[in-house]
């Protein structure tokens, strides 16, 4: 390393955010490149599924802090450098603008959009350069964001999580992912989660139909009902009775293929399951509870038959009741919970069979349910190396040579990496420019609470917002607010905008501010009476921002929508990753550049214009292919 490089590296104080797939590789590369003062923030603990690629971690580290274990692992081969770990959320108040100002550069290895936006704003406020990154499979990217020299992370639209209307999930599924969402977010949650929650599965059959011992709740198990009998009853209710109930609405099936009810007596004979008792009895306490050994199922990549899925459904329900009874009522689906994955796979496959949807293997279903993008450690290593290269350029103030780098899956003309000049700031970006936003909203029906939660928090990404109308403070969030003032703000939340002490009507300009992020936005209010319920279910339209590509609000399964994040292998979607240039887009832009290079000199366009043209191609195709996104794995 040249002396100038070494001097810049040794004197740098670097903040790493994220110690996962990219983070492990990045911390190792930073240490081996001569960096001597590194701070690492990560709120996560190590899971079993991390061990195949996050090489700093071992089986014995499961459950421990990623940041702390990563530090200890690197210090074993670089004991004389300073690495300070923070097992905390980067959005915590302690990590404010003053905290960020102490660093020479910030390097992101995050796995969600919300945290990325938060770090971007703190870096802008602290005027600290940011290097952003992400990988998915063989694809990867590194982007550089320097205030006043390049665009910020939020200058371009980002994809939002895919949402599915509750009617599609509960009544008219057409894809396997719909069945997985139903099995995970409705059935699993109802059987093993909070018993008080209500959903469409809780419809009680009539007395002359499938009998229920408890007239109040079909899912309540009576004292004289054993696990297998209970399982058969639940199976018949959700896969038989509920399907017959749906078929009663002829209008729904005019242009759709009708599902078929599946009752347990049609799939399995009315007798106990034939289990491998030897395998069941010799299961170690250290081994995860699973139905597969007792049912003779070995390969998770095999697609089970309908009979096998029914057996797994009944057996997994029995094991939950008999082996994990204390957990029932508090369980949340976890992709590392083998028994939960088996139950969800079986339930999703039985529902898929009912609706004529192809069945999937346990391996595939786990990827969809757990939002798993199967990672490639080599891609993480390449991206970590590129991050360090860009960081060194920044530390040397060599901004002219900074590049956004895109890693391709297949070489084209012997190229696997495509460098692109960083883009200029978007003048209409509400984060790094003074762009006034326009909000169309019904001021006579919309409450302040909806405005704060759906617009200020969810869309604008503010954590501790202040809402002002002129000099009047309408709402403020924070821990240091006096009790009587906080009570007044709480009362304001339940008032419609037009009835607030400082009325918000057509033409009102609201100022929204987050002191932690040092971000201020002005929002021009336009009163609107009617909205398209499908396009704008919240009854709000925010214009003049670049927050998301698909401005579809995602609600929980207790409201009108159910959100799911299918794996890239299943639906080529991954919601919280950064913007990625799709493969065909990268190749198209590179080929245009090659054609430019081969032109005679007089015919060449100026490099800046060429970059602008490439940028237009990138943005256009990125918007058109929002489903292809990237996440750090």
Whether 378 and 320 map to the same domain: the answer is: no
Whether 338 and 210 map to the same domain: the answer is: yes
Residue 85 lies in a domain: yes
Whether 453 and 530 map to the same domain: the answer is: yes
Tokens 């932690």 locate to 516
Domain containing 279: what range? 174-356
- pLDDT value of position 179: 95
Cα angle, residue 77 at apex, residues 71 and 82 outer, rounded to 5°? 45
For the chain, what percent of residues have pLDDT higher than 70?
A: 77
47-56, 103-112, 425-434, 559-568: which has the minimum mean pLDDT? 559-568
| 123 tagged catalytic | no
- CATH code of the domain covering residue 511: 3.10.290.20
User: For strand 105-108 and strand 130-136, is the pairing parallel, antiparallel, or unpaired?
Assistant: parallel
Q: Which of 276, 269, 264 is nearest to 237 (CA)?
A: 264
- pLDDT value of position 38: 97
CA–CA separation, 47 and 65 (whole Å): 10
State the pLDDT confidence band at 614, using cuts at 50, 70 and 90.
low
Question: Could you say which of 335, 366, 397 is where a domain stops?
Answer: 397
Whether 337 and 386 map to the same domain: the answer is: no
Residue 628 lies in a domain: no
The answer to whether 126 touches 104, Cβ cutoff 8 Å, is no
State the pLDDT confidence band at 631, using cuts at 50, 70 and 90.
very low
pLDDT tens per residue, range 260-284: 999 999 998 765 555 555 444 444 5
179-183, 243-247, 520-524, 542-546: which has the minimum mean pLDDT? 542-546
- CATH code of the domain covering residue 262: 1.10.10.520
Higher-scoring residue by pLDDT: 437, 15: 15
- Can you read off the two tokens belonging to residue 418? 């495509």
pLDDT tens per residue, range 21-65: 999 999 999 999 999 999 999 999 998 878 888 999 999 998 899
Q: Which residues contact 426 (CB under 8 A, 6 or more apart)?
A: 151, 155, 156, 432, 433, 546
158-167, 421-430, 499-508: which has the minimum mean pLDDT? 158-167
CA–CA separation, 246 and 259 (whole Å): 9
Whether 94 and 184 map to the same domain: the answer is: no
pLDDT tens per residue, range 562-594: 333 333 333 333 333 333 344 344 444 445 444
pTM of the full structure? 0.67
Element holding 541 (H helix, E strand): strand 540-543
Higher-scoring residue by pLDDT: 576, 544: 544
State the pLDDT confidence band at 412, using cuts at 50, 70 and 90.
low
pLDDT tens per residue, range 196-212: 666 667 555 444 444 44
Mean pLDDT over the full length of the chain:
80
What pairs with residue 407 in β-bridges?
Answer: 140, 417
Query: Got the DSSP string for 431-452?
Result: TTS-PPEEEEE-TTT-BHHHII
The b-or-e profile of 453-462 (16+ CB within 10 A means b, else e) is: ebbbbbbbbb
- pLDDT value of position 200: 62
**CB-count burial class (<10 Å; 0-12, 13-18, 19+) for 572:** middle
- CATH code of the domain covering residue 54: 3.40.50.720
**CB-count burial class (<10 Å; 0-12, 13-18, 19+) for 474:** buried
- pLDDT value of position 272: 53
User: Considering 167, 179, 432, 521, which one is annotated as catalytic?
Assistant: 167
- Can you read off the two tokens belonging to residue 367? 């990827």
93-107, 283-297, 338-352, 377-391: which has the minimum mean pLDDT? 283-297
Q: What is the DSSP letter of 561?
A: E
For 610, what's the count of Cα atoms within 13 Å in the CB-facing half-sphere? 17
């Amino acid at each position: 390393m040249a002396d100038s490089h070494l001097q810049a590296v040794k004197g740098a104080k670097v903040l790493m955010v994220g110690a996962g797939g990219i983070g492990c590789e990045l911390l190792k590369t930073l240490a081996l490149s001569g960096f001597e003062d590194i701070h690492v923030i990560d709120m996560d603990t190590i899971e079993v599924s991390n061990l195949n690629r996050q090489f700093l971690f071992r089986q014995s580290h499961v459950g421990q802090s990623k940041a702390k274990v990563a530090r200890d692992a690197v210090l074993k081969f670089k004991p004389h450098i300073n690495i300070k770990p923070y097992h905390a959320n980067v959005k915590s108040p302690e990590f404010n603008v003053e905290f960020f100002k102490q660093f020479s550069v910030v390097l992101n290895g995050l796995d969600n959009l919300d945290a990325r936006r938060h770090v971007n704003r703190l870096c802008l406020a602290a005027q600290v350069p940011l290097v952003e990154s992400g990988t998915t499979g063989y694809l990867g990217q590194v982007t550089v964001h320097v205030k006043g020299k390049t665009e910020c992370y939020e200058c371009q639209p980002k994809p939002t999580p895919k949402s599915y209307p509750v009617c599609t999930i509960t009544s008219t599924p057409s894809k396997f992912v719909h069945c997985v969402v139903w099995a995970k977010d409705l059935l699993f949650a109802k059987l093993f989660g909070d018993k008080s929650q209500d959903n469409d599965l809780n419809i009680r059959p009539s007395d002359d139909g499938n009998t229920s011992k408890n007239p109040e709740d079909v899912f309540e198990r009576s004292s004289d009902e054993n696990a297998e009998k209970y399982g058969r009853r639940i199976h018949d209710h959700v896969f038989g009775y509920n399907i017959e109930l749906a078929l009663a609405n002829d209008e729904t099936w005019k242009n759709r293929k009708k599902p078929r009810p599946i009752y347990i007596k049609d799939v399995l004979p009315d007798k106990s399951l034939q289990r491998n008792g030897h395998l069941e009895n010799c299961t170690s306490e250290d081994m995860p509870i699973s139905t597969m050994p007792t049912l003779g199922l070995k390969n998770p990549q095999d697609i089970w038959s309908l009979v096998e899925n029914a057996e797994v459904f009944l057996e997994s329900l029995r094991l939950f009741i008999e082996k994990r009874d204390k957990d029932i009522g508090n369980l949340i689906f976890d992709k590392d919970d083998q028994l939960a994955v088996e139950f969800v796979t079986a339930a999703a496959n039985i529902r898929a069979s009912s609706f004529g949807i192809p069945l999937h293997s346990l391996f595939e279903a786990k990827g969809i349910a757990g939002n798993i993008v199967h990672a490639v450690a080599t891609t993480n290593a390449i991206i970590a190396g590129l991050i360090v290269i860009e960081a060194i350029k920044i530390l040397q103030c060599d901004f002219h040579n900074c590049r956004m780098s895109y890693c391709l899956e297949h070489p084209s003309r012997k190229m696997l990496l495509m460098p692109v000049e960083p883009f200029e700031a978007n003048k209409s970006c509400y984060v790094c420019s003074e762009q006034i936003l326009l909000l169309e909203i019904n001021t006579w029906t919309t409450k302040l609470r909806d405005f704060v939660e759906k617009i200020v928090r969810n869309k604008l990404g503010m954590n501790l917002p202040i809402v002002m109308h002129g000099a009047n403070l309408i709402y403020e969030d924070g821990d240091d607010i006096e009790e009587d003032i906080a009570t007044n703000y709480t009362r304001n939340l339940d008032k419609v905008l037009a009835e607030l002490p400082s009325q918000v009507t057509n033409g009102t300009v609201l100022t929204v501010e987050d002191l932690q992020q040092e971000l201020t936005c002005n929002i021009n209010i336009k009163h609107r009476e009617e909205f398209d319920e499908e396009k704008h279910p919240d009854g709000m339209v925010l214009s003049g921002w670049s927050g998301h590509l698909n401005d579809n609000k995602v609600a929980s399964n207790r409201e009108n929508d159910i959100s799911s994040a299918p794996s890239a292998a299943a639906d080529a979607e991954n919601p919280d990753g950064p913007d990625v240039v799709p493969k065909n887009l990268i190749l198209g832009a590179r080929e245009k550049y090659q054609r430019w290079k081969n032109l005679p000199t007089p015919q060449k366009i100026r490099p800046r214009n060429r970059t602008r043209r490439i940028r237009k191609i990138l943005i256009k195709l990125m918007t058109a292919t929002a489903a292809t996104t990237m996440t750090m794995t």
